[in-house]
Structure 1
């Protein structure tokens, strides 16, 4: 456990979101620079104190475990909490908790914390000329935090694996380098999510040449644990295409669509699960296609699927992802479009059915 906590500063200390690690007894084991700055504490003033020193919604150990175990069992879950600053002021925050269980069956909670008090309390924002950007920022916070959840879980799982193998004296150089690669890629992705949205709101995106293979490989790497847990085979075709476009924005689009398919597949009882990805270029126009075998949705929902907050998954989803894709495409990609339809098709002599998304834009 100590090795895991000691590795956190290297990975997330300089992130622009607050990060807090708490054990099942309520002791604060780690707080990054941003959280200390947000709450006006020095790091030594907050470490190993009880979380209810700073969290008004929790009063004891029972409340701590009841609240966070319940929320971490729900996909896309986040909660609004009130954190107490050193000055006594209250900071309204959106919190995304991730549950990690160590080898001694003890719970560790890693909390990603975003200060949203200004978004909710500053009514004068409605007079700001950048109203559209502020609205979109508020809408996208949940999705950004959700995209952080997978790589952070991967970092914790990987560091735990290193610790266990080292204690058993079975950590080979190959295993060590593989774990370092996983941690490095995950940490870079955490940073890229923030940079992508920072560029999106500042209108400073720049086009670059990249291979679709790189996009697909990065996406499948970051979602590898979810694909494995859901027994999903990823089938990629025509992935050696090179295009000149907005790389960071496009990988966000691919990740959202793949996550959407994974969530849909998790609600099925298929003998075998698939996600199919294809891309091609025709007459200087790029096409990207993704489909699954999750059975599709009711046709009446197809016209609403890109609407803000529309979801077919109940309280388990935010309804932001597809809306965000359409917003990004309309704003940043020239002559772009995205369509969705139920699709029946044949694969390996079996008839399958699922949702098919087709994206196109000018290169």
Structure 2
């Protein structure tokens, strides 16, 4: 946790690739967008990128094959403060915005979404307490996460209930730990999803970026007819489509995160971002395997795992169909209101 606290006040020099276009709130134009990250955000991104490449990528295949939980990686991430950014300052956290958390999570997901999903779910588990807990409740439960490398979980899915959160049958006794008051649970759950769906979208974007990077690298190494296959139009167009998907998915999650940070209800944009980024991740993974050809099915290369990893983004935190239902209802309601 100490490292990212230091990043907030000082600058360190870390290698990084050129930044993709980014939408953040401008310091000079408070009511608009600025397509540039500030220095702190660049440092956050650089730290996460370095961690992904040096700590996650080298061991991702091992954990995938061994089916082990990456305890050591999670502890290292906790030491850097990569998994508890949203915890309020009065609990010892950084109280960072959704946008900044997403910057970090996209980089971690580039390394391996299996491992990033071991690091990041605490953000979802923390959200109801951050949104609706009293200061005493927050200190009691969130403060512990800053003091030791513990994980939280968000329990909402039941054997007979998944996307229909309103159909949950579990009942709680009013003994303690009630957030807001009796009957507020569904409202809190939906509010939490509005803040956590942009991070899911950014993680899917991280997969898509990795697919593009791996496919581009391979297409420059693999030669047919005496030239790299990247120079054949059939492959070049696949890479172009992947790049278009990555950039637009990134812009979608950035808007949803920006709205969340600025107190704008973002159910509509968050669902668009989650649905679209999931589609982009899956198409990018499929296209990457196509670029690799037969080698794409070989575990010697990373794209077969990327294809497996991408599918979950169509399912958890609300299926793609649920996201489209949210979007369609918003469109219909908006049209009715002006009819």
Is TM-score (shorter-chain normalized) higher than 0.5?
no
TM-score normalised by L of structure 2: 0.37
Q: Which has the higher contact order (CA 8 A, sep 6+)?
A: 2
Higher strand share: 1
TM-score normalised by L of structure 1: 0.35
Larger radius of gyration: 1
